[in-house]
Chains A and B, each alone.
Chain A
């Protein structure tokens, strides 16, 4: 495992129809340490998904490079998209098994299903799942490949608050059991404080780095909402600019 370095000089979207060329990202440098949980915060439409797609190798049309050490030429990716993106014609179990090789151990998947409380739903087709359950399947799928980096693109958006909290807690349980480098995109500061080791604030398009803050709250104190709120107030006080971003 090595740190992952992201250097993007520029990313343009070509002109289509009446919309002119669009500069989505400009001069963005980011280093993700091993097993670090980083939250990216920025206004909606600032290019966060574009950034994740570039790191995931889905978008190669940019200037810059993604460096992930010598272990693989390309880092192994676990990507939790904004929508769950499960294959509707495969069961929960099949969806997870498919991203793994032919010789994976079923025990790994069993354990993940157990943690995410989906064991009894493993042979169900995704259309019968609630959104919260589908998102949990997507999380399992991403963890199952044992990735070098886990990308999460607002995975809890459009969940109701209690479900979002439940899935968030399950995610944290899973992550503390099997730590991975995580890049988590959100525009919810409370969510970011509950999850991250480090917050990175990004500007509106063209996206660039504004500032970063370490979350000093110990993992054992994260469940304490009072402590989190206190830190949030402090943060907004110290960086009034944040309010305009979110």
Chain B
């Protein structure tokens, strides 16, 4: 049988669901509900408005902490990549922050600043920031010296150099940091919510865990994965396409 390239992803997804259904039916356990049942639970909590609310809260936290981490990370990354002395000075700090476990930052933020929203956001930002800095710094170190010289000798202003010479070269690094960042941040946010917030996906998952409600856990997971996929398709892919159109 010949399968076209376009139907292959759909087919693989179908096989995955079929295998899941078969396993669930075979074991017949509460802890492994069938995909059909999960879909039903998903639909019910959507209609009840519970899932959209908690998903929305988590997404809001994601957007805020992600934006802060990316903006700060890009600025600091470019600075460290272009300035050797600063880089040498702050290198140890970076290594420390890169290796502090996420759980430790979260606990410390809550202990120091209380169980408040800003502490939650701060904990996520601190976890993500070093990754962005390191990625962007690599990009800033590898900037094309020839083009920078060209910009200098034709009297480009700092802003012009940043927008037209530096930023386009950093684009792949920024996109890399964005993709890995989204995946990392939402995992951290769930822990943050689980430990110290009274809404959001993490809080809900904690609740379902205590009730042994696996169907709901899976329904929430699927919703979140779908949202991240949507961001990739609707925001990141078109962004990539637009800024890489100059490539042969």
Q: Inside 8 A of A56's CB, which chain B residues have their CB?
A: 153
Chain B, Cβ-Cβ closest to A88: B246
- Is B165 part of the binding interface, using a Cβ–Cβ cutoff of 8 Å? yes
Within 8 Å of chain B (Cβ to Cβ): is A242? no
Bound-state CA distance A56–B160 (Å) is 19
Q: Which of B132-140, B144-152, B190-198 contacts A (4 or more CB under 8 A)?
A: B144-152
Bound-state CA distance A211–B164 (Å) is 43
At the interface, yes or no: B168 with Cβ under 8 Å from chain A?
yes
Pair count A-B, CB < 8 A:
47
A135 to B: closest C-beta gap in Å: 14
CB 8 Å contact bits of A136-164 with B (1 = contact, 0 = none): 00000100010000000000000000000
What chain B residues lie within 8 Å of A141 (beta carbons)? 154
**Which residues from chain B contact A85 at a C-beta distance below 8 Å?**
146-147, 149-150
A232 within 8 A of B: no
A58-B149, A87-B147 given; A127·B154 CB < 8 A = no
**Nearest Cβ in chain B — how far from A105, in angstroms?**
18
Contacts of B153 in A (CB 8 A): 56-58, 77, 79
Shortest Cβ distance from residue A130 to the other chain B in the assembled complex, whole angstroms? 13
- Chain B binding surface, main DSSP class: helix
* Distance between Cα atoms of A56 and B149 in the complex (Å): 10
Report whether A89 and B149 are in contact in the complex, using a CB–CB cutoff of 8 Å.
Answer: no
Contact of B146 with A81 in the complex, beta carbons under 8 Å: yes
Q: Is the CB–CB distance between B165 and A87 below 8 Å?
A: yes
Which residues of chain A are within 8 angstroms of B165 by Cβ–Cβ distance? Answer: 87
B156 at the interface (CB under 8 A from A): yes
Please tell me which one of the listed residues A58, A88, A125, A128 contacts residue B152 in the complex, with CB atoms under 8 A apart: A58
Decide if B246 touches A127 in the complex (CB within 8 Å).
Answer: yes
Chain A nearest CB from B154 CB (Å) reads 4
Question: Which residue from B147, B154, B156, B160 sits with its C-beta under 8 Å from A79?
Answer: B154
Q: Tell whether, in the assembled complex, residue B146 and residue A98 are in contact, meaning their CB atoms are under 8 Å apart.
A: no
A127 vs B168: C-alpha distance when bound (angstroms): 15
Kindly state whether residue B248 has any CB partner on chain A within 8 Å.
yes
Q: Which residue of B lies closest to A59 (CB)?
A: B149
**Within 8 Å CB of B160, what residues of A?**
98
User: At the interface, yes or no: B84 with Cβ under 8 Å from chain A?
Assistant: no
Interfacial residues, chain B to chain A (CB-CB below 8 A): 146-147, 149-150, 152-156, 160, 164-165, 168, 243, 245-248
Q: Kindly list the 9 A-B residue pairs having the minimum CB-CB distance in the complex, ordered from nearest.
A: A125-B246, A99-B154, A89-B168, A85-B150, A89-B246, A56-B153, A127-B248, A79-B153, A85-B146
Known: A57-B152, A81-B149, A85-B150. 8 other contacts (CB 8 A): A56-B153, A77-B153, A79-B150, A81-B146, A87-B147, A88-B246, A89-B246, A98-B164
